[in-house]
Chain A
Amino acid sequence: MTKRQKRIYAVAGLVVGVGVAAALGFTAFRKNMMYFYTPSDLIAGDVPVGANLELGGLVEKGSLVRAEGLKIQFSVADCAKAVPVRYEGVVPDLFREGQGVVATGHMGDDHVFVATRILAKHDENYMPPRVAESLKSEDGKHSCAPFKSVAANAG
């Protein structure tokens, strides 16, 4: 083989290798993208059952119900809608009613969101920015009922 031929083979090999790696990478990427939904989005949109996604909002006042063991059910709400959520396990330190949370999981067959992970930050005034933004009403202020309950808590 001449030097030139060798170089062509090397380049071709590299292109094929990078191509395959990129194809596999992007497939994995698409499969594992989790979109962020507010409760209103989730109820309005067609979310395939079983697709992993993030649901952000506030834990609605009075919605938290404990079942046996570590099973809980509660509603994540924004200004308009609320989605029931089921979870089993230890909840974060600052998980409580009125607190902003982001739950990762999927929509179950029974229209209850099955959470596999719940995040609430280490600061009682903390609100995930995406949640805060999605809760804003037209005039840019938080005015909806679930948020008021937080204000009442903090006050």
Chain B
Amino acid sequence: MIPEIGHFALILALGIAFVQVLMPLLGWRRRDPRLLAIGGSAAQGQFFCVFIGYACLTYSFIAKDFSVAYVAENAHSQLPLGYRITAVWGAHEGSLLLWTFMLSGWTFAVSIFNRRLPADLGALVLAVLGAISIGFLLFLLLTSNPFARLFPVPAEGHDLNPLLQDPGLAIHPPTLYMGYVGFSVAFAFAIAALITGKLDAAWARWTRPWTTTAWMFLTIGITLGSWWAYNELGWGGWWFWDPVENASFMPWLAGTALIHSLAVTEKRGILKSWTVLLAILSFSLSLLGTFLVRSGVLVSVHAFATDPARGLFILVFMAIVVGGALAIYAWRAPKLAVDIEMRLFSREGFLLLNNVFLVVACGAILLGTLYPMVLDTLKLKKLSVGPPYFNVVFLPLIAPLFALVGVASVVPWKRGRWSESWPRLKIALAITVVVAIAVPFALYSRATLLALTGGLLGTWAIVTAVQDVLRRIKAKPKFLAGVASVSRGVWGMTFAHVGLGVWAFGVSFVISYGFEQDVRLAPKAEATIGNYNFAFQGVLENQGPNYTAQQGSVTVSRDGKLVADLHPQKRFYPSQRNVLTESAVDAGLLRDLYVSLGEGFDDGSWSLRVYVKPMVRLIWLGGVLMFIGGGLAASDRRYRLARATERSAVTNGALPA
């Protein structure tokens, strides 16, 4: 009964979504505020229905209702409750339902928070979101019904993929989807603004908090994914340039460009059509990401069922959304041209350069990701593009961004002068050079080119960001008053840019000073890797809730002192006859010690992967700082207090930065 209620709720949601699209459009044509107002109620009704559907599927998992095919496929009576709840998005149908649920949630939030928007713009935003929702609901109901029943009812479920039975992966997809789906709001704002033709600084200010929120979730989603891959895949890597990772990284790069160009559009009223194009691009790349992961084009841990009908549906849907959006853009964008002079040596000039680098980097990744797939689909050649390509192309494109972020922090809007900016940069540059050279030698007594470059760029980003915020604080006579006077938007920017610097440190140091070694050890034998002594104590059998494990014991010491006792596991999940490598990590801010079990040999020895990973945590710490920064920026009071002024015409004059 419950699954049928869920199914019915989704059908109802589809009907309401049509209302949500058609009524506001009709209202806009007829200039009828009553019809426009229906959009909000429809959005809330749709959210309620999708919520019911989502709750019903969750209930079926909790109740272990194996008569539901999707539950039988992805749960097991031994599966712990927590993982039964997260198993809802453990495979194709449920993750699509989660997508739709989040989309309706974002739409709901827009309908609540945007009462202060001009009625037509607000209603059209909801109409565009409703149209996207129709696409996903149809996709769910026509090709991927999560509530399909199974007869005869199996006595036992097939269980959740063991790789997904990890806290990191339990929260990775929802955060990632929050980001993907969140860009639909920026997209809807862009399309609505193109239709109404009202695209001004006020529009940018309404769009910014939504976009920043989406970006924030995408940031933490990617960070969690990287952390999970490091812990669960047993290879100790944090990024593989796997097509699925690229699929989430491309919208992130486009979204990062978008939040920067939105700042320019808000402050200066320029780059309007570029901003709109980026909004379309970010969401299109989010859809592409969904397509790549869900269509079965890719084979990886993320790719679920292979069903050509599904791939075709998403492809057609994507063509309609992207093609339609670009058509509207081509039709309306020429109206957006403004004749305001823009200088390269100004804040907006640097932000534009930032956009150029980000978009080119995004394009390079797109090429490396799609080219092999296109050739393969056309049956021309089978090939793959290796990580070296991405490293060679991405790093040089990203490095200038660090230099830019520092310089831009001292350059004012409209017009800057090198003679005014340079004195402010001198001290920062001196500190940067000293720190970047001192740190590698102090910690590792040797420097590599990469560590020096990464250290320079990272320190530069951190020092200039801190200097910028300190200067704002010192503008007030008292320190505390100064701290309070700095807006959350600025704090957000500071956190994000410091996060960027921290990330650069992590990346360059872990590559420069890391040790990776595969060793074969008999019990009681030892291996010395990078100042650390790894002593293998042997392997014992161990019983988990739904698996059996062979648990190794490795004691790590340095200079004769015990540092860590690690217990990597090799787990066997009988329900799926699946083997999983559970690595053991001794985490630290300055270094991680990482051991994973390979295979046992007849003579009692085991193969082990042993890694020493200096500063690898900084990579994720950087992501977390950016996430916090996004949260601060999105919650800036400016966006809430703007109520009183937003309807007044906004000039293109200079606003204080």
Binding site for B on A (CB under 8 A): 3, 10, 18, 21, 24-25, 28-29, 31-36, 52, 54, 66, 69-70, 88-91, 93-94, 104, 121-124, 128-130
A54-B518 in contact given A21-B360, A28-B392, A90-B609 (Cβ < 8 Å):
no
**Smallest CB-CB separation from B390: which chain A residue?**
A32
Pick the 7 closest A-B CB pairs, nearest first: A90-B598, A32-B389, A36-B382, A89-B518, A28-B392, A93-B579, A35-B383
Question: Is B393 interfacial (CB-CB < 8 Å)?
Answer: yes
Question: Is B608 interfacial (CB-CB < 8 Å)?
Answer: yes
A34-B386 in contact given A91-B598, A93-B579 (Cβ < 8 Å):
yes
Contact B607 A90 (CB under 8 A): yes
Binding site for A on B (CB under 8 A): 161-163, 234, 299, 301, 341, 344, 360, 364, 367-368, 371, 381-386, 388-389, 392-393, 396-397, 518-520, 570, 577-581, 596, 598-599, 601, 607-609
Contact B578 A70 (CB under 8 A): no
Q: Which of A25, A52, A123 contacts B364 (CB 8 A)?
A: A25
The interface residues of chain B lying within 8 Å CB-to-CB of A94 are 579
With A and B bound together, what is the CA distance between A126 and B341 in angstroms? 59
Give, as a whole number of angstroms, the nearest-CB distance from A99 to chain B.
Answer: 12
The interface residues of chain A lying within 8 Å CB-to-CB of B368 are 29
With A and B bound together, what is the CA distance between A3 and B339 in angstroms? 12
Contact B397 A34 (CB under 8 A): no
Q: Which of A18, A69, A128 has most chain B Cβ within 10 Å?
A: A69
**Smallest CB-CB separation from A96: which chain B residue?**
B599
Q: Which of B299, B577, B608 contacts A128 (CB 8 A)?
A: B299
With A and B bound together, what is the CA distance between A76 and B397 in angstroms? 39
**Smallest CB-CB separation from B367: which chain A residue?**
A29
Q: Which of A34, A70, A121, A123 contacts B384 (CB 8 A)?
A: A34
The interface residues of chain A lying within 8 Å CB-to-CB of B163 are 122
The interface residues of chain B lying within 8 Å CB-to-CB of A129 are 299
With A and B bound together, what is the CA distance between A85 and B642 in angstroms? 67
Contact A90 B608 (CB under 8 A): yes
Contact B389 A88 (CB under 8 A): no
Contact B607 A70 (CB under 8 A): yes
Give, as a whole number of angstroms, the nearest-CB distance from A93 to chain B.
Answer: 4
A122-B388 in contact given A25-B367, A88-B518 (Cβ < 8 Å):
no
Contact B392 A21 (CB under 8 A): no
11 examples of A-B residue contacts, CB within 8 angstroms:
A24-B393, A35-B382, A69-B520, A70-B518, A70-B520, A70-B598, A93-B234, A93-B580, A104-B386, A122-B161, A122-B301
The interface residues of chain B lying within 8 Å CB-to-CB of A3 are 341
Q: Which of A29, A91, A104, A130 contacts B599 (CB 8 A)?
A: A91
Q: Which of B368, B384, B396, B596 has most chain A Cβ within 10 Å?
A: B384
The interface residues of chain A lying within 8 Å CB-to-CB of B344 are 10
Contact B578 A32 (CB under 8 A): no
With A and B bound together, what is the CA distance between A69 and B367 in angstroms? 40
With A and B bound together, what is the CA distance between A54 and B386 in angstroms? 10
The interface residues of chain B lying within 8 Å CB-to-CB of A18 are 360
